[in-house]
Amino acid sequence: MLAYILRRALYAIPILIGVNLITFALFFVVNTPDDMARMQLGAKRVSQVEIERWKAAHGYDKPLILNERAPGTGKLTDTVFFQKSLRLFAFDFGVSEDGRNISAEIRTRMWPSLALAIPVFLIGLAVNVTFALTMAFFRATYLDFWGVVLCVAMMSISTLFYIIAGQFLVAKLWDLVPISGYNTGLHAIKFLILPVAIGVLSGVGSGSRWYRTLFLEEMGKDYVRTARAKGLSETAVMFRHVLKNAMIPILTGVVVVIPLLFMGSLLMESFFGIPGLGSYTIDAIQSQDFAVVRSMVFIGSVLYIFGLLLTDISYTLVDPRVRLE
Amino acid sequence: MPFAPVILWTDALLWLLVAAIASYLWMCARRPHLAAPWQRVVKSRAAMVSLALLAGYGAIGLADSLHFRVALPATAAGEAPAYSPQVLSVLDLALVRLRRSEETTYSAPLATRLFALEEVRLPDGRMVREYPRLRYGGAQLANEGERGSDVAKRALAGLAGAALLWLPLGALLGPLRRRAPQVPWRAAYATLGAMLAIAGPVFALSLAYHVLGTDKVGQDVLYLSLKSIRTSLVIGTLTTLVMLPLGAMLGVTAGYFKGWVDDAIQYVYTTLNSIPAVLLIAAFVLMMQVYIDGHPQLFPTTAQRADVRLLLLCVILGVTSWTSLARLLRGEALKLAELEYVQAAHAFAVPHLRILTRHLLPNVAHIIIISMVLDFSSLVLAEVVLSYIGVGVDPSTISFGIMINAARLEMAREPVVWWSLASAFGFLLVLVLAANLLADAVRDGFDPRVRVGRAALQGAAQ
């Protein structure tokens, strides 16, 4: 098992190098640091002196890949690529445009993000599976038909609508919870109820329709017919046979997103003023803070690759047919 | 000439796409094996209803894709005519009243007065604060008390006009049903009727009122909503133009050649996939913005800059979303490459390229078509979210995302300004719902697994 995990982890290295190269190419080659400086300084006519000063202050005043003037290994290390891109591998993210330490920001902002994302994930999964199982249980009846219609209608509504309408109805009109904001500890609950509910609701449509398809596909298989032929009740067939076997495709979709919960939700956090990583990212995009965007891209891909690894491991746990070799 | 045609990049590509779809359908009509799945699709009532709705949206979007610049009044004889810098479309011509009738700020749907108090100078010189009359909305009314009856009269006239247009079309139903009896023509005809029953009164009222009100800067919301349709359609369709060749070629090639080709292609798409989509798109768009801002000389007019940005957004969305199609096609090609007919082609020394294009691509075409239709709605919804985050279309482009972004604080106002958001979400919902229903029908018609699965289910139920 350990050897298997190690081997899978080794696969991640070339992918992370690839991610690093893509971000490097995007942020430094397509547009030079001079372009970035001009953008950050804002004004149309910026003198070259100001640009140089900005680059020096942010550490972009080095050659991109090869520093010919530096002595020894400095030829390779004293470059933008080494300082800005390779440092990411050591989770050293540097400072943002406004001079704050990105790693420290991430460590404090991670918790509000998780406080929102984990309940949305768990409750959403439970609601979706329950709804999908109900539809599959009453398949080819009116309940199933209208359930699917409801799902298609719900997935056709933009997430923004759920947020704006929910905020308006629950927070403003009925005045049940604060409109936005955040607090630490248990005081956070009243700020989180509405975003969690909206997060779950906006995912019900596509989620339960997808799970329903999985359940129905599983119910068309031979072992289900055998189970029925043995005289098992429909409930026993659904819960003991279909649900268990459908767990395998469900796991593929679900496990991979668990690590990504750290990244938070862009829309939810920015609308509800939750100081998590999602709103951090959105602020960085809007203020064109390239250092932060670069760091979030890197963290996001590390987490995704970790999720793939978790998926593989969870397969071997739930499906005895999958061998480790 | 009184006008000079302007061909924007997205216009050209959109019309090219229309031509491609038309020639594909023509090809389908002559080959029974290609036509069969489409015949299964149009048997579904939901598909016909959504096709009618999408045709309505498509007509508006295409009318908005014929651009031109109007000639300015000639200054001197013999001089080359000068053209206005403003790029207009055929849709703008039809909606000329809506485009020109700008108020100063918010006004409610069908209102005759502004939504905000303003200082008004009375004829005797005193200043009072009141809700001033609108410049255009209901300006023809001498007495505002007549608004109700005037609205009803106009709506009825519009309804009558719509009925006059709709009823004669019913004569087509008979011949159509004789030619293709299995197609639920009545559903499409009824949908058309419903669309006309809404469009007729709305059009009649729009000649004298702001049917959906005006926004913060006084623009007519109905006009903005109609103009947004084109942006949504461009994003939903042109993105597939980028995604399709990349995904289809790379996916099928990986599955067919296996070995190092497969490894290389898999590496590329796993790497791209591992970057969270929104962040990758944001990174691309930020870089594109820096480039566009750095090279203003390339884009002479605002319309051209906005158009290039829209096109590049499609390219970016395509580059970041071809991976799932490629993965699907790779899996399918892996299976197909082992089948007898491909082995036979090998034995006859058919070149690889020919096997790929003649034997593999046609047999994965159903997957390509299904994913194209399925992706449309998610792309349309993605535009809204991206524009909200600020990495979507150019702020000068009219789109649902920009509308929602501009109006997102209006629900917090007191009293609430609800009409901009309601119109944007309403138009968006109908478009996406129709696309989703059509996608369902297309999947049912094209995916052999669905039919087998359904047969098995029915067997189990009996």
Q: Give tens-digit pLDDT for B171-185.
A: 888 888 888 888 899
**pLDDT tops 60 at residue B456:** no
Q: What average pLDDT does range B259-272 have in this prediction? A: 90
Asked, as a colleague might, if the bond just before B415 is cis with ω within 30 of 0, I would say: yes
Greater pLDDT, A187 or B347: B347
Determine the distance in angstroms separating the CA of A73 from the nearest CA of chain B, rounded to an integer.
29
Residues of B in contact with A290 (CB under 8 A): 286
Q: How far B57 CA lies from chain A's nearest CA (Å)?
A: 16
Asked if B411 reaches chain A (Cβ–Cβ under 8 Å), the answer is yes
CA within 13 Å, CB half, B245: 5
- Length of chain B (residues): 462
Question: Strands B127-130, B67-70: parallel, antiparallel or unpaired by DSSP?
Answer: unpaired
- Specify the higher pLDDT residue, A179 or B315: B315
- Among residues B56, B396, B438, B371, which one has the least CA distance to residue B231? B396
Contact between B424 and B228 under an 8 Å Cβ cutoff? The reply is yes
How would residue B105 be classed by pLDDT, with cut points 50, 70 and 90?
confident
The pLDDT, as a whole number, for residue B133 is 81
Q: Does A42 touch chain B (CB under 8 A)?
A: no
Using CB atoms, pick whichever of A140, A288, A305 lies closest to residue B286.
A288
Tokens 């350990």 label which residue? A2
**pLDDT band for position B394 (cuts 50, 70, 90):** confident
From chain B, the residues in CB contact with A210 under 8 A are: none
At residue A103's C-alpha, the angle toward residues A102 and A108, to 5°, is 100
Q: Is the pLDDT of residue B25 over 60?
A: yes
CA distance B151 to chain A (A): 29
The predicted pLDDT at position B462 comes to 41
Q: Which residues of B touch A228 (CB under 8 A)?
A: 460
Predicted local distance difference test score (pLDDT) of residue B460: 46
* C-beta atoms of B294 and A38 within 8 A: yes
Dihedral (Cα; B439, B443, B444, B449), 10-degree rounding = -160
Average pLDDT rounded to a whole number, residues B49-55: 94
What does the alpha-carbon distance between residue B175 and residue B46 come to, in Å, rounded to a whole number? 22
Query: Which of B280, B290, B385 is the closest to A31 by Cβ?
Result: B290
Q: Provide the H-helix boundaries in B116-170.
A: 147-169
Give the confidence band of A324 by pLDDT, cuts at 50, 70, 90: low
d(CA A279, CA A105): 12
Q: Inform me whether the C-beta atom of residue B258 falls under 8 Å from chain A C-beta atoms.
A: no
Closest CA to B393 of B281, B255, B257: B281
Q: Which of A26, A158, A237, A305 to mutate to test the interface with B (most CBs of B within 10 A)?
A: A158
What percentage of chain B exceeds 70 in pLDDT?
Answer: 95
How far A256 CA sits from the closest chain B CA (Å)? 11
Check whether B426 has a pLDDT greater than 90: yes
Of the listed ranges A49-58, B299-308, B428-437, the one predicted with least confidence? A49-58
Stretch A80-99: mean pLDDT, rounded? 74
- Which strands form B88-89's sheet, in the order they lie side by side? B3-6, B67-70, B88-89
Confidence of residue B453 (pLDDT cuts 50, 70, 90): low
Q: Which of A139-143, A201-205, B168-172 is most confident?
A: A201-205
pLDDT(A62) > 90 = no
The answer to whether A174 faces chain B, any CB pair under 8 Å, is no
B positions 336-395 inside 8 Å of A (CB): 377, 381, 384-385, 388-391
Q: b/e for B268-294, b at 16 or more Cβ within 10 A?
A: bbbbbbbbbebbbbbbbbbbbbbebee
pLDDT of residue B239: 92
A159/B381 CB distance under 8 A: yes
Cα A242 from chain centroid? 29
pLDDT above 90 for A153: yes
The three-state secondary structure class of B106 is coil
Look up residue A120 and give its two tokens. Answer: 């949305």
Are B81 and B297 spatial neighbours (Cβ–Cβ below 8 Å)?
no
Chain B interface includes A38 (CB < 8 A): yes
| B118-121 vs B88-89, strand pairing mode | unpaired
Chain mean pLDDT for chain A: 84
| A43: its two tokens | 């004004």
Q: In this complex, is the C-beta atom of B272 within 8 Å of any C-beta atom belonging to chain A?
A: yes
Chain B: give the shortest CA distance to residue A123, in Å: 23
Residue A269 CA to residue A180 CA, distance in Å, equals 9
Q: Mark A211-248 as b/e (b = at least 16 C-beta within 10 Å).
A: bbbbbbbbbbbeebeebbeeeeeeeebbeebbbebbbb
Q: Do A304 and B280 touch (CB under 8 A)?
A: no
CB distance B446 to A162 below 8 Å = no
> What ipTM did this prediction achieve?
0.86
Q: Is the pLDDT of residue B455 over 60?
A: no
Which of B45, B279, B295 to substitute to test the interface with A, most A CBs within 10 Å? B279
In chain B, the largest separation of any two C-alpha atoms, in whole Å, equals 99
Q: What three-state secondary structure class fits B181?
A: coil
Distance from the Cα of A71 to chain B's closest Cα (Å) equals: 33
Element (H, E) at B68: strand B67-70
B279 contacts in chain A (CB < 8 Å): 281, 293, 296-297, 300
For the entire predicted model, the pTM comes to 0.90
* Test the B interface: residue of A161, A271, A288, A310 with most B CBs within 10 Å: A161
Concatenated DSSP letters of B361-389: HHHHHHHHHHHHHHHHHHHHHHHHHHHHH
Mean pLDDT of B154-167: 92
Looking at CA atoms only, how far is residue A295 from chain B in angstroms? 10
C-alpha distances (whole Å) from A111 to each of A106, A117, A125, A274, A277 are: 9, 10, 21, 10, 9
Model pLDDT for residues B125-141, shown as the tens digit of each residue? 778 888 888 888 778 88
Chain A CA closest to residue B383: A158
Q: In a mutagenesis test of the B interface, which of A45, A156, A212 is the best target, namely the one with the most B β-carbons within 10 Å?
A: A156
- Sort out which chain A residues have CB atoms less than 8 A from B316's CB and list them: none
Give pLDDT, residue B461.
45
Contact B283 A304 (CB under 8 A): no
Q: Give the residue-averaged pLDDT of B27-46.
A: 88
Q: Read off the pLDDT of each residue in A24-53 and give the average, rounded to a whole number.
A: 73
Q: Angle of helix B9-30 relative to helix B32-43, nearest 10 degrees?
A: 100
What is residue A323's predicted lDDT score, i.e. its pLDDT?
65
C-alpha angle A294-A300-A301 in degrees, rounded to nearest 5: 95
Nearest residue in A to B426, CA atom: A157
Chain A residues touching B429 at Cβ < 8 A: 156-158, 161
- Residue B302 sits at the chain A interface (C-beta within 8 Å): no
> Residue A123 corresponds to which tokens in the numbers above?
């409750």
Q: Is B3 helix (H, G, I), strand (E, B) or coil?
A: strand
Question: B59 by DSSP, 3-state: which?
Answer: helix
Q: What is the mean pLDDT of residues B294-312?
A: 82
Residue A19 contacts B where some CB pair is shorter than 8 Å: yes
Cα B84 from chain centroid (whole Å): 28
Contact A39 B457 (CB under 8 A): no
- Over residues A114-152, the pLDDT tens digits come to 999 999 999 999 999 999 999 998 888 899 999 999 999
The model's pLDDT over B339-380, given as tens digits with 9 standing for 90+, comes to 899 999 989 999 999 999 888 998 898 889 888 888 899 999
Output the six-digit token pair for A139: 């398949």
Is residue B336 pLDDT above 80, yes or no? yes
User: Apex CA B384: angle with CA A199 and CA B248, to 5°?
Assistant: 100
Q: Which of A46-50, B30-34, B452-456 has the lowest mean pLDDT?
A: B452-456
Chain A with chain B: Cβ pairs closer than 8 A:
138
pLDDT digits (tens, 9 = 90+) for A214-273: 998 888 889 999 999 999 988 888 888 898 888 888 887 888 889 888 888 888 898 888
One-letter amino acid for residue A63 of the chain: P
Say yes or no: A193 contacts chain B, CB-CB below 8 A: no
pLDDT over 70 at A76, yes or no? no
Is A38 within 8 Å of A53 (Cβ atoms)? no
**pLDDT > 60? residue B459:** no
Per mean pLDDT, which range of A55-59, B39-43, B76-80, B135-139 is the poorest? Answer: B76-80
Average pLDDT, chain B: 86
CA B229 distance to own-chain centroid: 5
Say whether B271 and A179 touch across the interface (CB within 8 A). no
> Does B385 sit within 8 Å of A267, measured CB to CB?
yes
- Select the residue of A140, A179, A300 nearest B279 (Cβ to Cβ): A300
How far apart CA A26 and CA A34 sit, in angstroms, is 14
CA distances for B83 relative to A13, A64, B57, B74, B303, angstroms: 58, 46, 30, 10, 14
What single-letter DSSP state applies at residue B360?
Answer: I
The verdict on a CB contact (< 8 Å) between A160 and B384 is yes
How far is it, in rounded angstroms, from Cα B57 to Cα B431? Answer: 7
Contacts of B267 in chain A (CB under 8 A): 14-15, 18
* Residues B136 and B103 sit within 8 Å (Cβ to Cβ): yes
Average pLDDT over residues B8-36: 90
Distance CA B432, CA B229 (A): 11
Residue B440 forms contact with A (CB below 8 Å): yes
